[in-house]
Structure 1
Amino acid sequence: MPARTQARIAGCLYVVIILCGMSAELIFRGPLLAPGTAEGVLAAILAAPGLLRGAILLDVAMIVADVALAILLYRLLRFVSEPVALAAMVFRLMQAAVIAASLLALVAVDALALRGAGVEAGLVRGLMEVHGIGYDLGLILFAANTGLTAWLLARSGWVPRALPWLLAATALVYVTGSVTRIAAPEWNALVQPAYGVALVAESWFALVLLFGARVARG
């Protein structure tokens, strides 16, 4: 398959990842967690079971796209440094595995709250929190992937020179956001606006893959 075609497919996959990831978090899971209290979260899930199941399906689609993208980016960037490209692929695949494992917490919520009876609200809220922490652990691995990818892109010669720097900043955002979520929750809110950097960088990367990458080898 020509490298240009691989890049376009990679761009399409990146768009799928961005759309599925944001929709699952903001449109589907967000309203379920909005009440804050355990009782409120359980009530929200019982009132709108489609939101929980939709979030699960969107995350599955994102994970599948992430696995495919990891392989394609390895093929496209290995000419720069095969060991670094391989390491980047492994970190992205590890991220997908961790996020997939964290989805079992949401599957458990579905089984207990929507298919079972008499489940405690605290247990449901706790499982939702376990999923969120698992997602953040996956993002730490993704930060490693993003940093390595930025290094590869900086030396590839086929992306705008500012993009690798923005992706490097994105890696820092993901690490800081995830670490504060796990170790210092009281500071996490301060990091949230910085995720805008990640959205801009990853969207730009997707568009470059789709339309602008000057791919010579893959």
Structure 2
Amino acid sequence: MKSDQLDPAFARMAGALYLTIALCGGFSIGYVPMQIVVSGDAAASASNLLGHAGLFKLGVLADSAVILCEIAITVILYQLFRRESPTIAMMSVIARSGMIFVMGINLMLWVMPYGLLTLPSDFSLAERQNLAQLFFDAHGLGIYAWQIFFGAHLLALGAMVLRSRAVPQILGWGLFVGAFGYLVQAFYELTFSSNTTLGYAIIGLLVIVTISEISFGLWLLIFAPRRASQTTTFKHA
């Protein structure tokens, strides 16, 4: 059954969670690793980690916040769009739950280097640095692993948005088409591929999905509640 109105309270919560995830995730996944991890140089990565311990811990807190927000938004999005298709809604829940599980494992991979470099150990310094770099590299690949689940979730979410009369169709298409950016990038990186043309295509799709996700979050936060309020007013009139 298609609907032309979303629950305003759930819409606000989903929008706020979307933007929180975007901010915290951009910091913990985008900014922090760039300041710490040096590809192929275990000693430099270890030095950066110990020299930016405060930044590293903030990144861990931000990652933890993302995981908690993901749990909440998974349930809320299901409540918002389950009327469009219960089957697709459940698929979106399962896919995003799988992503959350992988993100939890990935967080453990991220914190292991700090323990290796700061806690007493029988390993030599060089061995600890090399192990720390191995965990950093595994964490980087882990991001692409959870992107598979997230891409599947966005396909389902985009399909539900397209079935709904409550959300602008352009947002649904942006989520649905952009989902292939996450999926293709995940398979591209996890298979250690190298193709310049495909790389440009991935960037284009990721730009589309990033704009669509932020726009979707803002729409849920600002316009969906207002639209519901206007609809209620018209019905009473």
Query: How high is the TM-score relative to the length of structure 2?
Result: 0.84
State yes or no: 1:101 paired with 2:116.
no
- Of 53, 57, 62, 2:61 maps to 57
Give SS of 1:120's match. helix
Q: Partner amino acid for 1:68?
A: A
| 1:38-67 superposed Cα distances (whole Å, 9 cap, x missing partner) | 221111112111222222211110011011
The equivalent of 1:160 in structure 2 is 168
Amino acid at match of 2:79: R
Q: Give, in whole Å, the separation in 2 of the partners of 1:189 and 1:113.
A: 35
Unpaired runs of 5+ residues, structure 1, are none
Separation of aligned partners in 1, 2:193 and 2:20? 30
Query: Which residue pairs with 1:197 in the alignment?
Result: 208
Report whether the alignment pairs 1:124 with 2:132.
yes
Does the Cα contact within 8 Å between 2:14 and 2:221 map onto a contact in 1?
yes
| Offset, 1:26 | 2.5
Displacement of 1:34: 4.2
Mapped partners of 1:201, 1:116: distance in 2: 47
| TM norm structure 1 | 0.91
Higher-Rg member (1/2):
2
Matches within 5 A, 1:5-24: 5-24=9-28
Aligned residue for 1:174?
A: 182
Any conservation in 2 of the 1:29–1:51 contact (CA below 8 Å)?
A: no
The percentage of counterpart residues that share the same residue type is 25
In structure 1, C-alpha distance between the alignment counterparts of 2:95 and 2:101, rounded to whole Å: 10
Q: Does structure 1 conserve the Cα–Cα contact (< 8 Å) formed by 2:180 and 2:205? A: no
CA distance in 1, matches of 2:58, 2:120: 19
Q: Is the 8 A contact 2:14 2:220 kept in 1?
A: yes
Does 1:68 find its partner at 2:72?
Answer: yes
The one-letter code matched in structure 2 to 1:89 is V
Runs of 4+ in 1 over 3 A off after TM superposition: 185-194
Cα 1:55/1:193, change in 2 over 3 Å: farther
> Is the 2:177–2:205 contact (alpha carbons within 8 Å) kept by the matching residues of 1?
no
Asked whether the equivalents of residues 116 and 128 of structure 2 are also in contact (C-alpha less than 8 Å), the reply is no
Which stretches in structure 2 are left out of the alignment for 5+ residues? 1-5, 232-237
Q: Is the 8 A contact 2:102 2:145 kept in 1?
A: yes
Distance 1:19 1:6 in 2: 20
Q: Is the 8 A contact 1:106 1:128 kept in 2?
A: yes
